[in-house]
Structure 1
């Protein structure tokens, strides 16, 4: 049974890691970031319920 030749695996893995690192750096360098990020103010939204605008009459139970 022939032996598996693993002598080039180190070179292959190192070149793959270097290539992925270079591609990642190129993608990150092309991304535009805003120079001064400003937080956007969040507004609280009020829930509009139907009983907020109209008057409702509450009846007492019959005794």
Structure 2
């Protein structure tokens, strides 16, 4: 059974990693990003809910008096 020659693995993995790094750098450098982001004015809109005008009390079953 022949032995697996691993002497070239280091240079193969290293060159592949460098090539992928260069390709990713080229991809990112070709992207365009907005130079000055615009500010949006946020207006607060108050919505009225039917339960806002009422006062309600919710009783927990554990807080009710024992019978």
TM interval, shorter chain, is: 0.5 to 0.7
Assess, with a 3 A threshold, how the Cα gap between structure 1 residues 39 and 6 changes in structure 2: closer, same or farther.
Answer: farther
Gaps of 5+ in 2: 45-67
Gaps of 5+ in 1: 45-63
Distance (Å, rounded) in 2 between the aligned partners of 1:15 and 1:41: 50
Aligned match of 1:32: 32
- Provide the rounded CA distance (Å) in 2 between the counterparts of 1:13 and 1:39: 46
Q: TM-score, normalised by structure 1?
A: 0.60
CA shift for structure 1 position 43: 7.4
Q: Which residue in the other structure is 2:10 paired with?
A: 10
**TM-score with structure 2 length normalisation?**
0.57
Q: Which residues of 2 match residues 33-52 of structure 1 at below 5 A?
A: 33-38=33-38, 40=40
